[in-house]
C-alpha cells in the first residue's frame, strides 16, 4: 500500500504548504461575493478590502474589474472601498483589490459580483437570399458569463438546431454569441431563432426572425421596370393605331375639294373622251 493515495497524508501536505507560504504573504480581508438582484432601485453596493497583515509597508492600492484597472481608484489607504451607486447587471463581474509593495510582489483579493444574464443587444431580423449566409447574434451583460445555446422555434418536437445539413455554426465568447447559417435554404431555414443565455443565477433569451428570399427576388425590381416599359410601349402602339382612323378625315378635308376637282376633271376628261367618241 502506498502513502501517496492516503487522504490524510495529502491533507497534512496541503496544510504545511499553506502555513509555510502564509508566513511571509500579506493578508487581505475582503467583502463576500454578492449577487445584484434584478429590478430597479437596487441599493448601492460597497466592496471592501482591508490589508490586515503585511511584512513590508504597502505603497498603493487600486481596484480592477474583469482584469482591467478601474480608473481613479488608486489610493494609499490600507482599507479600501469601491462603491457602486446604482448597481445593474452591467456592473456584475470579477472585482479585485490589488495592493502594491515597494519590495514585494503585489497582493490581491477577488470579489465576485454576480447577476442574472440580461440580453442587451440582438439582431431582430435578417433578410437574405437563398444561398447566402445569415448571421444572427446576441450579447449580454451579467456574470458569470453565460452558456449560450441557439434553437429554432416552431420546428417540431426538437427545437435544438438540426445541423444535419452541416450549415450551422455557433461561436460564443463571454457575453456574445453568433449563429451563422451558410448556403441558406428557401424552405427549411426561414423562421424564428432563439438565443438562450444561462448562468448560475438565471437565464434569458431573445428571438430573431430570419427571412429567405428566392434567387429571383433581386431580379424583381428589374422585371418590374421591364414590365412597365412593355406596358408603356403597348399603350403607345395602341394609341397610335387608334389615332390613325380618326385623323384620316382631318387629312381628307382640305384634300376633299381637290379630290372632287380631280374627279370632276376625270369626269370632264371622260366627257371629253365621250364627246370625241
Ligand atoms: C474593514 O475595516 C472596517 C473598519 O476598519 C470594517 O468596518 C469593515 O467591516 C472591514 N471590512 C472587511 C471586509 O473586513
Ligand atoms: C493576484 O494574485 C495572484 C496570486 O495570489 C497572482 O498570480 C496574480 O497575478 C495577481 N493578480 C494581480 C492583478 O495582481
Ligand atoms: C455543424 O456542422 C459543422 C460541420 O460538421 C460543424 O463545423 C459545426 O460546428 C456544426 N455546428 C453546430 C452548431 O453544431
Ligand atoms: C434557456 O435554456 C435553459 C436550458 O435549456 C432553460 O432551462 C431555460 O428555461 C431557457 N431560458 C429561457 C429564458 O428560455
More confident: 26 or 139: 139
- Residue 260, SS3? helix
Q: Which residue has the cell 454569441?
A: 177
**DSSP H or E run through 66:** none
163 Cβ below 6 A of ligand 3: yes
pLDDT-derived band of residue 247, with 50, 70 and 90 as boundaries?
Answer: low
pLDDT at 268 > cutoff 90? no
Which range among 13-22, 38-47, 56-65 shows the weakest confidence by mean pLDDT? Answer: 13-22
**pLDDT computed for residue 13 by the predictor:** 41
Q: Which set of grid coordinates corresponds to residue 255?
A: 384634300
Task: Give distance in angstroms: CA of 212 to centre of ligand 2.
Answer: 51
**Rounded-to-integer distance, Cα 14 and Cα 75, Å:** 35
pLDDT at 3 > cutoff 60? no
Which range among 55-64, 67-76, 201-210, 249-258 shows the weakest confidence by mean pLDDT? Answer: 249-258
Query: In a mutational test of the pocket of ligand 3, which residue from 166, 171, 183, 195 has the highest number of ligand atoms less than 8 Å from its CB?
Result: 166
Structural contact between residues 196 and 179, judged by C-beta atoms closer than 8 angstroms: no
Least distant ligand from the CA of 82: 1
Q: Which atom of ligand 4 is nearest to the CA of 194?
A: 14
**Rounded-to-integer distance, Cα 111 and Cα 84, Å:** 13
**pLDDT computed for residue 2 by the predictor:** 46
**What would the mean pLDDT of 109-118 be, rounded to a whole number?**
97
The total number of residues written for the chain in this structure: 277
pLDDT at 137 > cutoff 50? yes
More confident: 4 or 188: 188
pLDDT at 23 > cutoff 70? no
Nearest to 195 by CA among 142, 123, 258, 132: 123
More confident: 13 or 250: 250
**Rounded-to-integer distance, Cα 40 and Cα 36, Å:** 11
pLDDT at 4 > cutoff 50? no
**pLDDT computed for residue 32 by the predictor:** 96
**Rounded-to-integer distance, Cα 67 and Cα 144, Å:** 14
Nearest to 217 by CA among 132, 136, 123: 132
**pLDDT computed for residue 8 by the predictor:** 47
Q: CA-CA-CA-CA torsion for 153, 154, 156, 160, nearest 10 degrees?
A: -10
- Report strand pairing: 125-129 vs 203-213: parallel
R_g (Cα) of the chain, nearest Å: 43
Each residue's pLDDT tens digit, 29-49: 999 999 999 888 899 999 999
Predicted TM-score of the model (pTM): 0.70
Q: Which atom of ligand 3 is nearest to the CA of 166?
A: 2
More confident: 244 or 276: 244
State the CB neighbour count (10 A cutoff) for residue 136.
24
Nearest to 58 by CA among 27, 23, 95, 96: 27
180 Cβ below 6 A of ligand 2: no
pLDDT at 81 > cutoff 50? yes
Residue 127 has, within 13 A of its CA and on its CB side, a CA count of 3
Which residues lie across from 94 on neighbouring strands?
A: 112
Amino acid at each position: 500500500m502506498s502513502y501517496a493515495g492516503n487522504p490524510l497524508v495529502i491533507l497534512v501536505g496541503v496544510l504545511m504548504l499553506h502555513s509555510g507560504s502564509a508566513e511571509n504573504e500579506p493578508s487581505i480581508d475582503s467583502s463576500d461575493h454578492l449577487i445584484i438582484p434584478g429590478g430597479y432601485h437596487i441599493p448601492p453596493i460597497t466592496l471592501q478590502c482591508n490589508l490586515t497583515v503585511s511584512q513590508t509597508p504597502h505603497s498603493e492600492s487600486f481596484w480592477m474589474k474583469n482584469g482591467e484597472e478601474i480608473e481613479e481608484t488608486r489610493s494609499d489607504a490600507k482599507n479600501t472601498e469601491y462603491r457602486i451607486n446604482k448597481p445593474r447587471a452591467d456592473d456584475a463581474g470579477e472585482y479585485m483589490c490589488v495592493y502594491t509593495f515597494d519590495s514585494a510582489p503585489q497582493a490581491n483579493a477577488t470579489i465576485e459580483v454576480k447577476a442574472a444574464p440580461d440580453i442587451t443587444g440582438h439582431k431582430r431580423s435578417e433578410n437574405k437570399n437563398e444561398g447566402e449566409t445569415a448571421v444572427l447574434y446576441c450579447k449580454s451583460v451579467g456574470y458569470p458569463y453565460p452558456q449560450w445555446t441557439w434553437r429554432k422555434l416552431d420546428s417540431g418536437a426538437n427545437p435544438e438546431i438540426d445541423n444535419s445539413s452541416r450549415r450551422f455554426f455557433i461561436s460564443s465568447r463571454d457575453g456574445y454569441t453568433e449563429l451563422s447559417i451558410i448556403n441558406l435554404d428557401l424552405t427549411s431555414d426561414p423562421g424564428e431563432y432563439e438565443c438562450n443565455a444561462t448562468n448560475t443565477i438565471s437565464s434569458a433569451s431573445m428571438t430573431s426572425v430570419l427571412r429567405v428570399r428566392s434567387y429571383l427576388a433581386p431580379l424583381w425590381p428589374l422585371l418590374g421596370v421591364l414590365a412597365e416599359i412593355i406596358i408603356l410601349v403597348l399603350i403607345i402602339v395602341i394609341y397610335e393605331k387608334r389615332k390613325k382612323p380618326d385623323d384620316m378625315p382631318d387629312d381628307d378635308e382640305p384634300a376633299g375639294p381637290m379630290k372632287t376637282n380631280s374627279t370632276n376633271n376625270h369626269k370632264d376628261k371622260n366627257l371629253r373622251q365621250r364627246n370625241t367618241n
